[in-house]
Amino acid sequence: MQIQNQIISTVPVFEVSETLEEVIHFFEETTFSHVAVTEDGGYIGVLSENDLACFEPKKKIEDFRFELETFFVTKETAWLDVLEMFSRNEANVLPVLDENRIIVGYYDLEDVVSTFIDTPFFKEPGGILVISIGIKDYSFSEIAQIVEGNNARLLGAFITDSQNDMVEITLKVGSENLNEVAQTFRRYNYNIVFGNSDDQFLEDLKQRSDYLEKYLNV
């Protein structure tokens, strides 16, 4: 999935020599969590909205240089890694850099997640299976063979949990009747955590994803 067309240029970039007055105004007027800072045009980090109470309008951004966070992505960063970067840094906006560390724009969390939700994994009819197995025993190729061996289509799969040497995998299967697929997984020593319809799964995803709920109304 390509998300480069989601890069936006409507979020400002501040030079480290500027005062904090406009930064304060930016955070007070928007819901963005961070804003990028440059030095002589090159990216050096982001200021966090969490530090807003410490900002004084007449001070320069330079005074907070050592408080800058340095996370970013590039245009080549895969969309799953972009989502991980959002989550890891508790951010709802990410600066996007080119090969010369020049900011070409930002990713907005809402735009990226909306693109993800617009994929066949969410939109095409089918059923959801969540399976688990020992982390040393699972194989995505085997999972695909099990699904397709039951004349069903595998629309998507991703790891949703990994702990205590067990891995949990969520599958979207292009078949309303998941019973035969589930029974085959059991014969291959997979545990069936649950199987749900699309609507039930999406509601469960909303409830379990505290981070996305914080920023979005999916």
Mean pLDDT is highest, among 11-15, 131-135, 196-200, for 11-15
168-193 mean pLDDT: 87
Does pLDDT of 202 surpass 70? Answer: no
25-31 mean pLDDT: 95
82-94 mean pLDDT: 93
What is the C-alpha separation between 20 and 105, in angstroms, rounded?
21
What is the C-alpha separation between 195 and 172, in angstroms, rounded?
10
Predicted confidence band of residue 198 (pLDDT cuts 50, 70, 90): very low
Does pLDDT of 146 surpass 60? Answer: yes
Amino acid letter at 183? Q
DSSP 100: T
Amino acid letter at 74? T
All structural domains of the chain, each given as residue ranges with its CATH number in brackets, are 4-115 (3.10.580.10), 120-215 (3.30.70.260)
18-46 mean pLDDT: 96
Does pLDDT of 50 surpass 80? Answer: yes
Specify the pLDDT at position 78: 85
Predicted confidence band of residue 197 (pLDDT cuts 50, 70, 90): very low
Residue 56 dihedral angles phi and psi, to the nearest 5°: -115, 130
Predicted confidence band of residue 131 (pLDDT cuts 50, 70, 90): very high
Specify the pLDDT at position 207: 53
Q: Give the global pTM.
A: 0.66
